[in-house]
Structure 1
Amino acid sequence: MSSKTTHGWAWAYNKIRGLQCSRLTSAYRATLYVLRGDTGIFHSDVSWQKNRIRR
């Protein structure tokens, strides 16, 4: 499998916004995803569910 992904900043931002996170949190986590390939663990504004997006 190729390690290259077609998911970029906009995809990560929209995915995180879909989890009901604020615009600021979504932008920050999308930037982390692009730079590191991992958003780290974060909570949405609606629930206490832990979320993480990795490549």
Structure 2
Amino acid sequence: MRCVSDLGSLSLHNVLSIEIKGRLWCVPYPLAFLFRTQVDLESGHFELQDAG
């Protein structure tokens, strides 16, 4: 997990952007995943997108 917020953008004021990646155990090989989410810190609304 890492923060990917653009610190110079005023349009994303009070919005936290996070990238989540990892691997799920699966047979015959692990399955990789990558998600991005934006959390509005004022309203609590979030959006999860498949980025992988």
Q: Provide TM-score, normalisation by structure 1.
A: 0.32
Q: Provide TM-score, normalisation by structure 2.
A: 0.32
**Which structure: greater helix fraction?**
1
**Which structure: greater strand fraction?**
2
